Chain A
């Protein structure tokens, strides 16, 4: 998730929510959604802490994203029965990528879509993986390369 940079309104020092060393010594720190600037001490509201602000940010981001054409082909764009080659990942945390790689969904691997709903079912070699649309969207794919001896057909629709 792309987070808007948060800066101190008084002195423009960049702030990292949740990483303020001073907070732990403050008697009011539990359940406090203010961030104190380590430089000048001015407190400001953390927009990530507000449900309303998060919802609004999400809403505007989705509107913006809908306008743009996505140049990448993603796993979630493929039809059931299609095969493709994994190229990389986008928009997910590194730890999540590592997990996908651990399951065999690594760049270069050939992946076959078995089913698209209610969740995506894909086969990588002899591993069968269930993942939801959110994760399927994060996997970038391209036309599959013919694999030696696998006897698999390369259909990309």
Chain B
């Protein structure tokens, strides 16, 4: 439907291109990391990779490896799957490395048969072979490799097992010898199609099969290259072939493949008696249980609150901001600057009230850094445990009210890390309608990690009740807007279909690497914006613009929201980044300038405030500029409306 929205770089140099292809959450990115040394995010939930990453293969000369989003089957359904399908059909690949799940051999082999027919050199990596053997499955690679006519290598990507053999296999990869015989009418049709199809990177037989199975990507590809007359001839052949069967041709093809796989699996794989369900399996049951699942969720959230809100935003920030920066570094820097910088205005620009160091860098390093570090650590742990997809089971009913399904919980939760990245992750959703809805909700009501940490830290300083009020209001707005928006955005809801990965013991090294990678990226993005924001504030303060803004904002901020007039400055900062604004309020709150009610109102308002510049650009890229402008125009008045309303209600309630 929207195949042009996705972009992937086309290579400028002629190199061998090897694509890693496989189902979601099978370990393609982990294997990619092993083979190239290029770091990409690795997690335990489907949809971690939604774009193509390219890297130089180690040990293989002149070879580029492509890490692709997971694809369950061809034809592709969602946007991220389409990215992969495009690469497979028209990506000029020299080799495909299929990454399969050793535990689910039948599924893996089904996809192998599809890939083998492409006529591109193929190597099969049976990943997670350690989990398979722990479950009592033994797989005879020799038999598999002989029957399929390709190299089969068992691997454990997260521990780097089998990588050497995989490199050898990749170096001498060849077109698989496998050739399935389909029922006569289909073979006849393939024969006829062979002469009529244009030349492409995949074999004519593969093209023919995809055409017969009505693969939309293949149809679009052919429509670009064939004249109308040729297309009619192709359609004619397909129509004749279809006449021989009651069911769609795709189903007939599937049956032939199934028969072949049945035979192969029964000779090549054997299972000993099923192992006792381990602790992981039992925990997984509890996590998605309709009743027990809720206390489990509450416990997870409480732990997150304690670690990020109390420890990170409380203890750590006190230590770093109060003791280290406030007590040692900042006085020292100020002294040095005032001593060595001769121009007072410049010195003030560096270490004054709105100084680059005393405001910009201090906010970034003393306040944001401890908070996001704790958040990313906790979040990485959750991601790798495999808990997050289980939330979609628990929340499906809630999302159904918003015209979505439980799958949407994944980008929403990721939005707590970074709304910009989560906007990209909405590609795992099937329809454009779902993407529009989720992107709107992300822009509106999902606070990103830094903001969340600041908000929770500040609310935790007030009372637990304040945290509950804030949570209830934000979730309430999320649901209300979601429910309303679903009524205005036309289209049908798509049913929930999601694979749940097993719960796994997280690997500490992976969490630490991931946290460091995220921190580096985050600080790189935050520091320039914080510095720019500080510079803007400095200019405004010096020219009297800030006083004017505070006076102009007085009716809105003071009258309607009931906040001190100085809070206007924080909201101006919030335009650049919500967390910048939140940090400004945090500093105000820490100095005792805000009452409990004011803290809650300010936090709700800043949570619902305009999305950050980066995420506006991402919305424009993923949808269009109209949507991006719309998101800003909706959120801004709504944030103030809700904040003011809450102020009135809380004042009334406290007067009681």
Residues of chain B with a CB closer than 8 A to A121's CB: 288, 393, 500
| Cα(A98)–Cα(B214), bound, Å | 11
Q: Flag if A95 contacts B75 (CB, 8 Å).
A: yes
> In this assembly, does B516 line the interface, its C-beta being within 8 Å of a C-beta of chain A?
no
Q: Which of A101, A118, A152 contacts B254 (CB 8 A)?
A: A101
Q: How far is the CB of B21 from chain A (nearest CB, A)?
A: 13
Point out the residue from B266, B272, B496 that lies within 8 Å of A119, measured CB to CB.
Answer: B496
Q: Is the CB of A129 within 8 A of B500?
A: yes
Decide if A117 is an interface residue (CB 8 Å cutoff). yes
- Cα-based distance from A134 to B495 in the complex (angstroms): 7
Bound-state Cα–Cα, A128 to B400, Å: 21
Q: How many A-B residue pairs have CB under 8 A?
A: 120
> If the complex has contacts A118-B393, A148-B266, are A102 and B271 also in contact, measured as CB distance less than 8 A?
no
Task: Give min CB distance, B76 to chain A, whole Å.
Answer: 9
**Shortest distance in angstroms between A97's beta carbon and chain B's nearest beta carbon?**
7
Q: Does A77 contact B (CB under 8 A)?
A: no
* B106 touches A (CB below 8 Å): yes
Q: How far is the CA of A82 from the CA of B400 in the complex (A)?
A: 27
Interface membership of chain B positions 580-592, coded 1 if the CB is closer than 8 angstroms to chain A and 0 otherwise? 0000000000000
Known A-B contacts A103-B72, A150-B271, A151-B274; the reply to A129 vs B250 at CB < 8 A is no
Q: Given that A127-B499, A129-B497, A131-B495 are contacting pairs, would A118 and B397 also be in contact in the complex, using a CB cutoff of 8 Å?
A: yes
B500 adjacent to A128 (CB under 8 Å): yes
Q: Judge whether A78 is part of the interface by a CB distance below 8 angstroms.
A: no
Instruction: List which A63-100 residues lie within 8 A (CB) of chain B.
Output: 94-100
Q: Are B258 and A119 in contact (CB under 8 A)?
A: no
* Residue in chain A with minimal CB distance to B272: A149
A117 in contact with B405 (CB, 8 Å): no
Annotate A97-130 by CB proximity to B: 1 below 8 A, 0 otherwise: 1111111101111000011011101000111111
Q: Is the CB of A115 within 8 A of B289?
A: yes
A68 to B107, CA, bound (A): 36
Residues of B within 8 A of A119 (CB): 393, 396, 406, 496
Q: Is B203 an interface residue (CB 8 A)?
A: no
In angstroms, Cα B284 to Cα A115, docked, is: 12
User: Which residues in window 480-501 of B have CB below 8 A to A?
Assistant: 495-501
* Contacts of B90-136 to chain A: CB distance below 8 A: 101, 103-104, 106-107, 110-111, 135
- For B104, what are the chain A residues with a Cβ–Cβ distance below 8 Å? 104, 125-127
B248 within 8 A of A: yes
- Whether the pair A102, B107 counts as a contact (CB closer than 8 A) is yes
A151 to B352, CA, bound (A): 74
Give bound CA distance, A124 to B103, whole Å.
11
Which of chain A's residues has its CB closest to B396's CB? A119
B394 within 8 A of A: yes
Are B73 and A106 interface neighbours, CB within 8 A?
A: no
The answer to whether A6 has its CB under 8 Å from any CB of chain B is no
B290 at the interface (CB under 8 A from A): yes
Kindly list chain A residues whose C-beta atoms are within 8 Å of the C-beta of B159.
none
B251 — which chain A residues lie within 8 A by C-beta?
Answer: 94, 97
| Interface status of B285 (Cβ within 8 A of chain A) | yes
Which residues of A lie under 8 Å from residue B495 when comparing CB positions?
Answer: 96, 131-132, 134-135
Residues of B within 8 A of A94 (CB): 214, 248, 250-251
- The answer, among A132, A149, A150, A151, for a CB contact under 8 Å with B496, is A132
Beta-carbon nearest neighbor of B390 in chain A: A130
Residues of chain B within 8 A (CB-CB) of A126 are 101, 103-104, 135
Specify which of B107, B289, B496, B501 is in contact with A104 (CB 8 Å cutoff).
B107
Residue numbers in A under 8 Å from B258 (CB-CB)? 106-108
Contacts of A135 in B (CB 8 A): 495-497
Chain A residues in 8 Å Cβ range of B501: 128
When chains A and B are docked, how far (Å) is the Cα of A109 from the Cα of B274? 17
B162 at the interface (CB under 8 A from A): no
**Bound state CA distance, A140 and B645, in angstroms?**
52
Give the chain B neighbours of A130 by CB distance below 8 A.
288, 389, 392-393, 396, 406, 496-500
Question: Are the CB atoms of A118 and B500 closer together than 8 Å?
Answer: no
Of residues A100, A102, A128, which shows the largest number of chain B Cβ atoms within 10 Å of its Cβ?
A: A102
What are the residues of chain A within 8 A of B500 when measuring CB–CB?
121, 128-130
Closest to B254 in A: A101
Given A101-B110, A118-B397, CB of A106 within 8 Å of CB of B254:
yes
Asked if B509 lies at the interface with its beta carbon under 8 angstroms from chain A, I say no
Is B273's beta carbon under 8 Å from chain A? yes
Q: Which residue in B75, B392, B499 is a CB contact (below 8 Å) of A98?
A: B75
Specify which of A101, A118, A128 is in contact with B394 (CB 8 Å cutoff). Answer: A118
Q: Is the CB of B499 within 8 A of A128?
A: yes
B254 adjacent to A103 (CB under 8 Å):
no
Give the distance in Å from the alpha carbon of A152 to the alpha carbon of B136 in the complex.
14
Shortest Cβ distance from residue A6 to the other chain B in the assembled complex, whole angstroms? 19
The answer, yes or no, to whether B77 is at the interface (CB within 8 Å) is: yes
> What separation, in Å, do the CA atoms of A125 and B104 have in the docked complex?
7
Complex Cα distance, B263 from A148, in Å, reads 13
Q: Which residues from B are CB-within-8-Å of A108?
A: 258, 262
Bound complex: CA of A101 vs CA of B23, how far in Å? 13
Contact between A102 and B392 (Cβ–Cβ < 8 Å)? no
* Cα distance, A118 to B288, chains bound together (Å): 9
Q: Which residues from chain B contact A131 at a C-beta distance below 8 Å?
A: 495-498
16 contacts between A and B (CB under 8 A): A94-B251, A100-B497, A101-B73, A101-B110, A102-B110, A107-B255, A108-B258, A118-B397, A119-B396, A119-B496, A127-B499, A130-B288, A130-B496, A130-B498, A131-B497, A148-B266
Supplied contacts A94-B250, A96-B497, A135-B497, 13 more A-B pairs, CB within 8 Å: A95-B75, A96-B495, A101-B110, A101-B254, A102-B72, A102-B107, A106-B258, A107-B258, A108-B262, A118-B397, A128-B501, A130-B498, A132-B406
Ordered nearest first, which 5 A-B pairs have the shortest CB separation?
A: A102-B73, A102-B72, A126-B103, A132-B496, A128-B500
